[in-house]
Amino acid sequence: MEFIVLLKQVPDLAEELEIDGSGRDLARDWLSYVTSEWDEYALEEALQLRDLAGGTVTCLALDTGSVDELLATSLARGADRVIKVGAFERPPDSHASAHAFAAALREVRHDLVLVGVQAIDDLDGQLGPLLAAELGLPHVSVVTHIAIGADGSTVTANQEYAGGVVAEFEVDLPAVLGVQTSREAPRYAPVSRVRQLMKTATIETLEAPADGVGGLVVESLAVPVASGHAEMIDGDAGAVASRIAEILAERGLVRTGAAS
Amino acid sequence: MSNDVFVLVEHRDGLVTEGTFEILGRARDLASQAGGQAVALLLSDAVGSLADQLGGTSILAVEDPVFAEFSPSAYHAALVPIVTERAPLLLLAPNSGVGMDVAGGLSGSVGLPLAAFATSITIDGGAPVVSCQLYAGKIEARVRFRDGRGICTVVAGAYPASAGRVAGSPAVEHVTPPPPDQRVRFRRLVRPEAGDVDITREGVLVSVGRGIGEQENIELVEALAAALGGVVSSSRPVADAGWLPRTRQVGKSGLRVKPKLYLALGISGAPEHLEGMRDAELIVAVNTDPRAPIFGVAHYGAVADILDVVPALTKRLG
């Protein structure tokens, strides 16, 4: 079975995000990027499914100039094949990404395409359903618990709803699934192995159009002003604990006999 | 082409979801400002009782046994011709699995732009303006649609559901569905097994997130919860790791809680988590990141390591 995983990088939220001079984009010069969290789950799930059902895992990433390490890391984790797609000066939106990946997938065999269910910068929608619409494939978002059917022509997957309720679907292949989480935490790739693969691995390339458009006009970006903000408690851990205990006692939230 | 505002009706177990009412209320306001009407898109095997729940609303109904339950492919095939022919000003869908499937699929197939993670939608100069939360709530984007028409997936809690519940009788127009696309087939609903505790009924929740670091540290928060007479709950990553049962998970795909006290420990406060706990009476948050969005909803906050604060607090309460 041919498993495809589509990967992208997003700004690292551990660092402060700033808005550029135009007011319509992030100040990207000093941003550091990480692999989108849900894409990591998609890759882990693909590797697990391949190990159960046999086949190959091929990872695709749009070439935004800095995806070699991402693809080498995918190989270090166990992917069989990696492909850089197109050429982009800046990270494309979801519609443009779907258009480029669709072009690539017309050249690459695929039975099950796994994508992260969402990314933190999905302003114009999620990649999965956009790609599926362009390729005319069935699609399910927010899935967990993917299993390959007995004859290899279908998968079952659970779509999550609020309150822990899930719907189990049977899906004809080929199909696109938006992965919410993997059955196990994404595996670790040793840094030394990634470094070695950056030098020796074959990263294939595929051309793809860069002209897809999402049709959104961004007027402005802003750091949201919270309607309120917590009253902050200063001091070391002991001082913080004392003040919290006081607040709880004032509100009668401490059991009788405790906290004086 | 019209100035109508379409609303995707999400329903399960014979009930219209809360998220649907939230956007339906907003759709009425927007439609009246734009000179159109709010139109609910209802796909079901039995339209009647669901339509009644929508009160005095205009409904475009597609009735067929294939719509007994949601299926992304079946909904997509039925809705593409409706949205193409009727060309509404806006189509609103909840930011749920169902909404993501439908909205993304329609945007891809019909060519309407899509604004995701919408928190606010207004009409300005006859055209929609949408605010969207990006980067886990750290950035807000204000967008318009290229041709003034588009689709939004709206985050839960953006608008009150009460505005969507109106009295009256629905006006139902039936639409004949095209041949069904059954490449995605509903099998069954799986409900969570009853947990040892029901966190929606607890007055005190000591909730932990990624900041707990390791499974071994869960016992620290168990001890604090015991000292407070409450129970331990969690954000998604802790449940995903299997460190606490899924029945303890607060948030979009977990449970919505409203305790007297919500201690948010090592929880950054992604929008999906805030959705489940922002109505708690008292929220106290401890996190190492001073910019964590949780401090935007908490009443009291401290920038500190929970592994230091939790044992100290337990001791003071003992």
Instruction: Determine the residue among A135, A181, A240, A260 to mutate to test chain B binding: the one whose Cβ has the most chain B Cβ atoms within 10 Å.
Output: A240
How far is the alpha carbon of A202 from chain B, nearest alpha carbon, in Å? 33
Does the CB of A233 have a partner CB in chain B at under 8 Å?
yes
Q: What is the pTM of this model?
A: 0.91
Residue A169 shares a structural domain with residue A247: no
Confidence bin at A258 (pLDDT 50/70/90): very low
Residue A240 shares a structural domain with residue A153: no
Residue A180 has pLDDT above 80, yes or no: yes
Q: Cβ contact (<8 Å) for B300 and A253?
A: no
Query: Which residues of A fall within a CB distance of 8 Å from B69?
Result: 167
Same fold, B5-174 and B199-317: yes
Strands (E), chain A: 2-7, 9-11, 33-35, 56-62, 81-85, 112-116, 139-148, 154-160, 166-172, 175-179, 203-206, 216-222, 231-232
The per-residue pLDDT for range A30-80, each reduced to its tens digit, is 899 999 999 999 999 999 999 999 999 999 999 999 899 999 999 999 999
Residue A86 shares a structural domain with residue A158: yes
The per-residue pLDDT for range A107-117, each reduced to its tens digit, is 999 999 999 99
Query: Which residues of A fall within a CB distance of 8 Å from B150?
Result: 215-216
Range of the domain at A252: 230-260
d(CA A184, CA A90): 32
d(CA B245, CA A120): 26
Residue A93 shares a structural domain with residue A196: yes
The per-residue pLDDT for range B147-192, each reduced to its tens digit, is 999 999 999 989 999 999 999 999 999 999 889 999 999 999 998 7
By DSSP bridging, strand A203-206 and strand A139-148 are: unpaired
Q: Cβ contact (<8 Å) for A124 and B116?
A: yes
In a domain, A214, yes or no: no
d(CA A28, CA A25): 8
Residue A9 shares a structural domain with residue A128: yes
Cross-strand bridge partners of residue A217: B144
Residue A126 shares a structural domain with residue A248: no
The pLDDT assigned to A227 comes to 66
A75 compared with A213, residue with greater pLDDT: A75
Query: Which residues of B fall within a CB distance of 8 Å from A181?
Result: 240
Query: Which residues of B fall within a CB distance of 8 Å from A117?
Result: 100
B5-174, CATH topology level: Rossmann fold (3.40.50)
Count structural domains, chain A.
2
Which run of H or E residues covers position B37?
A: none
Residue extents of the structural domains in chain B: 5-174, 199-317
Least CA distance to B189: which residue of chain A? A167
Lowest mean pLDDT: which of A189-198, A246-255, B275-284?
A: A246-255
Q: Measured on CA atoms in the order B240, B244, B250, B254, is the torsion positive or negative?
A: positive
Residue A176 shares a structural domain with residue A255: no
By DSSP bridging, strand A231-232 and strand A56-62 are: unpaired
In a domain, A219, yes or no: no
The pLDDT assigned to A87 comes to 96
Does the CB of A247 have a partner CB in chain B at under 8 Å?
yes
The pLDDT assigned to A132 comes to 98
Does the CB of B48 have a partner CB in chain A at under 8 Å?
no
Three-state DSSP class for residue A72: helix
Instruction: Determine the residue among B135, B224, B261 to mutate to test chain A binding: the one whose Cβ has the most chain A Cβ atoms within 10 Å.
Output: B135
By DSSP bridging, strand A2-7 and strand A112-116 are: parallel
The per-residue pLDDT for range B254-289, each reduced to its tens digit, is 899 999 999 999 999 988 899 899 999 999 999 999
Q: Cβ contact (<8 Å) for A214 and B76?
A: no
Query: Which residues of B fall within a CB distance of 8 Å from A227?
Result: 296
Q: What is the DSSP secondary-structure string of B7-45? A: EEPPEETTEE-HHHHHHHHHHHHHHHHHTS-EEEEEEES
Query: Which residues of B fall within a CB distance of 8 Å from A255?
Result: 227-229, 317
Does the CB of B135 have a partner CB in chain A at under 8 Å?
yes
For residues A38 and A180, is the Cβ–Cβ distance under 8 A?
yes
What mean pLDDT comes out for the span A115-125? Answer: 97
Does the CB of B87 have a partner CB in chain A at under 8 Å?
no
CATH architecture label of B199-317: 3-Layer(aba) Sandwich (3.40)
Residue A260 has pLDDT above 70, yes or no: no
Least CA distance to A125: which residue of chain B? B116
Tokens representing B6 are: 């379409």
Q: Cβ contact (<8 Å) for B100 and A126?
A: yes
Percentage of the residues of chain B whose pLDDT score is greater than 70: 100
* Tokens 């597609």, residue located: B62
State the Rg of chain A over Cα. Answer: 22
CA angle A239, A241, A244 (to 5 degrees): 110
B7 compared with A252, residue with greater pLDDT: B7
Q: Cβ contact (<8 Å) for B150 and A216?
A: yes
Query: Which residues of A fall within a CB distance of 8 Å from B72?
Result: 129, 138-141, 169
Closest to A252 (Cα-Cα) out of B260, B152, B202: B260
A88: domain CATH number? Answer: 3.40.50.620
Residue A153 shares a structural domain with residue A192: yes
Size of interface A-B (CB pairs under 8 A): 300
Phi-psi region of B229 (alpha: psi -120 to 50; beta: other; left: phi over 0): left
User: Considering CB atoms only, which of A141, A247, A255 is closest to B101?
Assistant: A141
Residue A169 shares a structural domain with residue A239: no
Tokens representing B175 are: 């639409």
Percentage of the residues of chain B whose pLDDT score is greater than 90: 87
What mean pLDDT comes out for the span B16-37? Answer: 96
Percentage of the residues of chain A whose pLDDT score is greater than 70: 97
Q: Cβ contact (<8 Å) for A129 and B240?
A: no
The pLDDT assigned to A226 comes to 66
CA B145 from centre of chain: 23
Phi-psi region of A176 (alpha: psi -120 to 50; beta: other; left: phi over 0): beta
d(CA A20, CA A70): 26
CA angle B206, B288, A259 (to 5 degrees): 45
Does residue B128 have a cis bond before it (omega within 30 degrees)?
A: no
Q: What is the DSSP secondary-structure string of A12-69? A: -TTS---B-TTSSSB--TT--EEE-HHHHHHHHHHHHHHHHH--EEEEEEE-SS--HH
Residue B236 has pLDDT above 60, yes or no: yes
What mean pLDDT comes out for the span A237-258? Answer: 86
In a domain, A212, yes or no: no
The per-residue pLDDT for range A136-166, each reduced to its tens digit, is 999 999 999 999 999 999 999 999 998 788 9
Q: Give exposure, B278-295, as e/b (b: 16+ Cβ within 10 Å).
A: bebebbbbbbeeebbbbb
CB atoms within 10 A of CB B316: 21
Residue A172 shares a structural domain with residue A235: no
CB-based burial of residue B169 (10 Å sphere; 0-12 exposed, 13-18 middle, 19+ buried)? exposed
Least CA distance to B114: which residue of chain A? A124
Residue A103 shares a structural domain with residue A12: yes
Instruction: Determine the residue among B110, B215, B316 to mutate to test chain A binding: the one whose Cβ has the most chain A Cβ atoms within 10 Å.
Output: B316
Cα dist from A90 to A28, A66, A97, A103, B108, whole Å: 9, 10, 11, 19, 22
Residue A90 has pLDDT above 90, yes or no: no
Residue A153 shares a structural domain with residue A63: yes
Q: Which of residues 98-117 of A touch B (CB under 8 A)?
A: 98, 117
For residues A85 and A206, is the Cβ–Cβ distance under 8 A?
yes
d(CA A159, CA A161): 7
Q: Which of residues 216-235 of B touch A (CB under 8 A)?
A: 227-229
